[in-house]
Amino acid sequence: MNGQPLPGKGARQTEAAAHRAQTLRVLTIAQLMTPAQCAEFLQVKIETLYVWTSNRKIPFRKVGGALRFQFDEVNEWTKALP
């Protein structure tokens, strides 16, 4: 992006979109997301993500006791949503 706001969008929204795009570029390499990264990717509150995890509604794994989300699995999960 060139740093200019998109027509009809505020500068803050443009910055957020650029940040999400940068996060996605990094995630395609790293593959595992932290809860904060996953919540940002899904554009939900982190509390919502924890509820989904505790109800086993979203694919996740524990890595050394830490909650992680596989990017490809979450991306496929979003495609299966109604």
Look at residue 17 in the predicted model and tell me its pLDDT: 78
The answer to the question of residue 77 being in a domain is yes
* Domain tally, the chain: 1
What is the span of the domain harbouring residue 80? 33-82
Q: What is the rounded end-to-end Cα distance, in angstroms, of the chain? A: 31
Look at residue 8 in the predicted model and tell me its pLDDT: 55
The answer to the question of residue 70 being in a domain is yes
Look at residue 23 in the predicted model and tell me its pLDDT: 67
Look at residue 1 in the predicted model and tell me its pLDDT: 44
* Successive 10-residue mean pLDDT values, the chain, 82 residues: 52 74 63 94 97 97 93 93 87
The answer to the question of residue 18 being in a domain is no
- Torsional sign, CA 17, 22, 26, 28: positive
In order of 7, 26, 32, the CA distances from 39 in angstroms are 26, 15, 13
The answer to the question of residue 44 being in a domain is yes
The SS3 of residue 38 is: helix
Look at residue 26 in the predicted model and tell me its pLDDT: 62
The answer to the question of residue 45 being in a domain is yes
